[in-house]
Structure 1
């Protein structure tokens, strides 16, 4: 029907559609595997609240002249990835009910003839550990600094593309956790590492403390760090000042090395993360062309 005198009740942007699609797929996954997912009801309740928040913001923003609400809506899908990540660890058990690191170690030995994470022990120098941990920890800035810059400079379309690319990468990873749930080498190879724990100065103990408390088992494959960081970098490079773009690319490269060196991911996790980042970077502009900013 055309020529209606009022706008549609709800006009969703691509990042909102991707977020709601992920929540729908995850809901099905958790419901099907509810006997294997710890706290399945709480996970589903969290998904419901998140979907409601996205829908309410999408409904309210076009009916308001508030610039703050406009920007809140723009970055809300990106914020959702932060609080959906812990739930993805519980969701990772939906299909198998256990972690598959033993199978991964057997495959890795056959593929490489060794475990690459253990090979990194030969260069586990304190200064290098610290530098690579700083690169690993810089990941969290990707969710704040470029979005703030793009919002402050009024580059709304670039901000929308940046948010969409990261959301695509993150949600693909979150679903991938359930396909191949892994605790990661830091747990599976714990008895084989020499030294048993990496040493550093400030960043290493701080990141170790954070990972011990906030990194849910099962969220290893694909590497959401690598996927999210490269999706962000590839999208931001054309729109950031050249010095900032070069710095971001260098840090992201170091981050990719750090996920293996710091024992958080297997090599295959990083490779899968790179592939997802490339796909997300290519898909984001196409999805944007299929919709329009509200």
Structure 2
């Protein structure tokens, strides 16, 4: 987490003329870095499990607020959104735009179902950690949090490298039907994306990266096989949903899956798979 904060702070400082309220962002990053360093400094002197839990879980808890700030810092490098570049890539690779192809299967029940599937991503931050805590699997919990945070923070840096508004904006007017309609989950999710999803936070898809990182990390946690299969299925549904619901380009989803794979491999090397599985057993 400290590495991400340092890289992001440098990007914001260098591109501050493109970042809204860059000073506040830098102050927030500094405060969070001090809190993280303080947690690491206090833990060796404390036998409290609560202190260890805070040290382990706080990087995951701050993914949401840091996602919001990632939108503010996204223009730091280029000073603008690069959707035209992404549309050109799609035309060269696919001959069309996959988001538009999925319009042919759009229906109200499917809109609702995939909106629910998309929203399942948020449960990755709650249910697996709760399970690991209740089972007392501390090292497996550390591995899970590390994998999720690596995936998320790598995506946030990707937003700076290739800031995109997303297909809802760039392909507006080309969709048929022009708007997706559901029953309850779809309008709620659409409202959330409109009000809490800042522009520039598309590539790679942090939803896809987080969902697959959760699925891959849970495989080494000792969780029941049914749970790991359910998590993998959820990740697959999220991957389809982000494109179908017009929140991400297909290449965003592919890049998110690649980030998850990289995060999982890195987390395994950093936490030693034998120690994770041993804690789970």
TM over 0.5: yes
Structure 2 counterpart of 1:75: 57
Q: Which residue of 1 aligns with 2:223?
A: 240
1:213 pairs, out of 195, 202, 212, with: 195
CA distance in 2, matches of 1:289, 1:24: 26
Counterparts of 1:172 and 1:56 in 2: how far apart (Å)? 23
Determine the structure 2 residue equivalent to 1:279.
262
Higher helix share: 2
- Structure 2 distance, partners of 1:92, 1:189, is 20
Structure 1 segments (4+ residues) deviating >4 Å: none
Paired with 1:82 and 1:54, the residues of 2 have a C-alpha distance of 16
1:21-170 aligned within 5 A: 21-170=3-152
What is the CA–CA distance in structure 1 between the aligned matches of 2:63 and 2:51, rounded to whole Å?
Answer: 19
Deviation at 1:201, TM superposition (A): 1.1
Instruction: Find the aligned partners of 2:259 and 2:227 in 1 and give their Cα distance.
Output: 24
What's the offset of the Cα at 1:245? 1.6
Instruction: Measure, in 1, the Cα distance between the counterparts of 2:42 and 2:133.
Output: 19
Normalising to structure 1: TM-score of the pair? 0.90
Is the 8 Å Cα contact of residues 211 and 234 (structure 2) preserved in structure 1?
no
Give, in whole Å, the separation in 2 of the partners of 1:80 and 1:212.
21
Shift of 1:263: 0.3
Contact 1:173 1:223 in 2 (8 A): yes
TM-score (norm 2): 0.94
Separation in structure 2 between the aligned mates of residue 164 and residue 280 of structure 1, nearest angstrom: 8
Gaps of 5+ in 2: 277-281
Matched residues in 1 for 2:168 and 2:133: separation? 38
The CA deviation string for residues 42-86 of structure 1, in whole angstroms up to 9 with x for no partner, is 111111111111112222233223222221211111112121111
Is the contact made by 1:50 and 1:80 (CA closer than 8 Å) also made in structure 2? no
Cα contact 2:214–2:231 (8 A) shared by 1 = no
Q: C-alpha deviations, 1:109-131, integer Å up to 9, x for none?
A: 22211111011111111111111
Q: Cα offset for 1:289?
A: 4.1
1:38 match: secondary structure: coil
3-state secondary structure, aligned to 1:35: helix
Aligned length: 274
Residue correspondence of structure 1 range 257-272 to structure 2 within 5 A: 257-272=240-255
CA deviation after TM superposition for structure 1 residue 277, in Å: 0.7
Q: Distance in 2 between matches of 1:30 and 1:44?
A: 7
Rounded Cα–Cα distance in structure 1 between residues aligned with 2:62 and 2:106: 35
Q: Give deviations 1:9-64, integer Å, cap 9, x for gaps.
A: xxxxxxxxxx0000000111011101111111111111111111111222223322
Distance in 1 (alpha carbons) for counterparts of 2:235 and 2:109: 18
Partner of 1:3: none
Q: Tell me, in whole angstroms, the C-alpha distance in 2 between the residues paired with 1:39 and 1:185.
A: 27
Alignment deviations for residues 193-243 of structure 1 (CA, whole Å, 9 cap, x no partner): 111211111110010111111001000000111111101101102421122
